[in-house]
Structure 1
């Protein structure tokens, strides 16, 4: 089985809160995760993350460094640290909800498998 290349965006606001979405479709329906999705044929990771972030959150971002890569089932997910350039936060496309999450709220959310440990290992948990 070939792995499906995906990207995710790690975005913190000035208060240290983390941008998260509640998944509106499988895999992970109803669970909270980072915004992102599949890299379409002919797209670079950077193009895919800009498109996915705009579709799922309404925000325009600039992708930065690669935070890390995880494999979840058949999905190989490359997560990038991103900076918000503009837009207005709203849930769209595959996201049932989108919000800035502080460290207290983060501990109350039902997260996709392994997300909390991965963000902790990468030192990318919410700081606010």
Structure 2
């Protein structure tokens, strides 16, 4: 048993005068039914950036370019007795959308562009505080990237 290395993608855009972030609803355990940033496990031989691009495409149908890492952290989920059920080491990456057509794909039951104001100020989509913090950091870094 070892931690599973994974990636998360913070894909931001400006659309109709509002800031939006790409979100997916998880279709599989763990966290099935919850909203999160797109991402998943890194495959053997893949770089973090390659895994990020692949996961976003698989889950949302969108093509992205990785800009830079935002944060690295652990997600450790335990059962009622305290035994570790899942341990992920996640690298969240700031990404820019490059093309494709938005649709839910592998491991996602839905994919949407969500208002960052709704997500961060009104709690829409019920993201974790960590996900909201990562989105805020990505927004700060994306200023001036075009």
Q: What is the TM-score normalised by the length of structure 1?
A: 0.88
Specify the alignment match of 1:27 in structure 2.
Answer: 30
Matched ranges for 1:75-114 at <5 A: 75-106=88-119, 107-112=123-128, 114=130
Q: Which has the higher helix share?
A: 2
> Structure 2 residue aligned with 1:119, among 107, 110, 135?
135
CA spacing shift, 1:123–1:84, aligned 2, 3 Å: closer
Specify the alignment match of 2:79 in structure 1.
Answer: none
Specify the alignment match of 2:6 in structure 1.
Answer: 6
Q: How many residues align?
A: 124
Q: Which has the higher strand share?
A: 2
**Structure number with bigger Rg:** 2
Gaps of 5+ in 2: 77-86, 141-146
Q: CA RMSD in A?
A: 1.8
Matched ranges for 1:28-43 at <5 A: 28-43=31-46
Inter-partner Cα distance in structure 2 for 1:26 and 1:86: 29
Inter-partner Cα distance in structure 2 for 1:112 and 1:31: 10
Inter-partner Cα distance in structure 2 for 1:24 and 1:112: 17
